[in-house]
Amino acid sequence: MICVSIARGRHRHVLAEHRFLAQNGVELVEIRLDFLQTRMDVRRLMRDRPTPILFTIRRPCDGGRFQGSEDSRQILLRSAIAEGVDYIDLEDGVAAVIPRYGSTKRVVSYHNFEETPEDLEAIFERLAAQDADIVKICTLANSPEDNFRILDLVEKKGKILPLVGFCMGDMGIPSRVLCPSLGSPFTFACSDKRNAVAPGQVPFEEMLQWYRVNQITRETKIYGVMADPVGHSLSPLIHNRAFVERGLNDSVYLPLRVPKEDVGAFLEKAPRKWNLRGVSVTIPHKEAVLPMLDEVDTSVRVIGACNTILWQEGRCVGTNTDYQAAMESFAEVANAAIPQHIDWVEPLDDPQTGEVRGKPLSGMTALILGAGGVGKALAVGLGRRGATLILTDVDQLRAESLCSKLQEDGLSSQVVPWEERHFAQPRLLVNATPLGMSPKVRETPFDGSFLRPSMLVFDAVYNPEKTLLIREAEECGCATVGGLSMFVRQAGLQFQLFTGVAPPLEEMKKVVQKALQASEW
């Protein structure tokens, strides 16, 4: 069950939001009385309530806004109990001095906004001893290990007394989603992102529709995107939508913020702790995970980076869907009946030997702007298909390092300084930098006056869907490939690897487009 926090300044706004939430399937709300800016009228808030209510009056030291004395706060807590509120939140220590009365259920809580302490079991015992009906322990996650520990506590101690337990912060989101499946009577969500009352709180619509929290069980197959940071990622949206479209109610996809120093421990523990079956890997882990894999396929061997990990029969297997998605996106446009037509049909990599079956780009020059992970995947793919590569990056040492690696692999490549990129006169132009990405939509990595109609222009940026580079290329008459095509294709390839089911690519694309349009407002 999901408990949605309501934090409004006026009673009428609280009442309106409560009705709205109930109409949208919410079964329990927490009303944060400490956010009210007028005299608290608990009777008014309880009258004709459409769902049960948990009243909370949080002190500043516990992350709240109550400005009165502690005596006056405790009087308000007692009055709410006397009025017969369904649940009351009583902090550690306070619960010991406020006696039970009537039918109100007591949620005895502990909040730590700095860390997840080592003595979680002792904290549980202390809270449970204060005449608790439900114990609530919320701590800040500073590592993925904190999520493991808090969920272990929920599963173990929840058999003794109902325990709501999860970690706060963006690193703690997996524990917010998974705790009900391990016995927590409910988890918390906010009405929308603007009204979050704790770090890492997720809007209830996402909890219900994306993560389908009420359907998750101990046997649910877990997937996710492993990154640092991870909050900007649209991968949870696109994969969870695909699960819904294909009726895969036994699967969920989570944002997994994993710092670089924790990657090894996370990959070792998560498959056992959470039934983790696969992860998407992105910045900054695509190369760091390589020593931790038991097996890699051709795409990882030729690129030297991994963006997808699967656990198969106890083995950790790596692949790279960026590579194939980029080549398929290019080929789909290039092989169409356009002036820039190229006879190019994917896939061209032999899955067994890794050899390329054809080189449709022989005699053509590709200018790669950016020598990071995406630039590397695109350079390898285009180079293996016969293109002569020109690399450039604001960090010339990075471009030179990639050039040396490509030359070692027998691919024709050279480096030009970033300031000289406009004089390369390529047939294929690739942007693998973040230039032009929202909110800096007026930036472009390549001056439009140097574009030529004979070019095929690819931009890996997908937010906005049409960057300034793509718009100027279209105006010039170039053939264009947008980053959204590559993003959806790589996610679709991952989905098929995860589930063995064909991905609903059109629905995946629509949900991303909708999210991008919403972000523009």
What tokens does 381 get?
Answer: 């793919």
Taking the C-alpha atoms of residue 302 and residue 326, their distance in angstroms, rounded to an integer, is: 15
Taking the C-alpha atoms of residue 127 and residue 55, their distance in angstroms, rounded to an integer, is: 18
Q: How far apart are the first and last CA of the chain?
A: 31
SS3 category, 115 = coil
* Helices 505-520 & 235-245 angle (0-180, nearest 10): 140
Catalytic residue among 273, 285, 286, 466: 286
Q: Which residues pair with 189 in a beta bridge?
A: 4
Taking the C-alpha atoms of residue 204 and residue 189, their distance in angstroms, rounded to an integer, is: 5
Alpha helices in 452-504, H assignment, sequence order = 468-476, 483-499
Widest Cα–Cα separation across the chain: 84
SS3 category, 135 = strand
Residues with Cβ < 8 Å from 474, sequence gap 6 or more? 466, 480
Residue with tokens 């329990």: 28
Taking the C-alpha atoms of residue 323 and residue 379, their distance in angstroms, rounded to an integer, is: 9
Residue 273 bears catalytic tag: no
The rounded radius of gyration (Å) of the Cα atoms in the chain is 27
Beta strands in 266-417 (DSSP E): 276-281, 295-296, 308-312, 315-319, 365-369, 388-392, 413-415
CA distances from 293 to 267, 290, 328 (A): 9, 6, 26
Taking the C-alpha atoms of residue 391 and residue 399, their distance in angstroms, rounded to an integer, is: 6
Catalytic residue among 111, 239, 285, 466: 111
Rounded to an integer, what is the distance from CA 53 to the centroid of its chain?
30
Catalytic residue among 34, 62, 92, 136: 136
Residue among 502, 460, 487 at smallest CA distance from 321: 487
Catalytic residue among 146, 228, 322, 393: 322
Taking the C-alpha atoms of residue 144 and residue 174, their distance in angstroms, rounded to an integer, is: 9
Taking the C-alpha atoms of residue 139 and residue 203, their distance in angstroms, rounded to an integer, is: 19
454 DSSP assignment: T
Residue 111 bears catalytic tag: yes
Alpha helices in 24-119, H assignment, sequence order = 42-46, 70-82
150 DSSP assignment: H
Residue 252 CB coordination number (10 Å): 25
Report which secondary-structure segment, H or E, holds 243.
helix 235-245
Give one DSSP letter per residue of 339-382, joined into a string.
TT-----S--B-TTT--BS--TTTT-EEEEE--SHHHHHHHHHH
Q: Which residues pair with 54 in a beta bridge?
A: 30, 87
State the catalytic residues. Answer: 111, 136, 286, 322
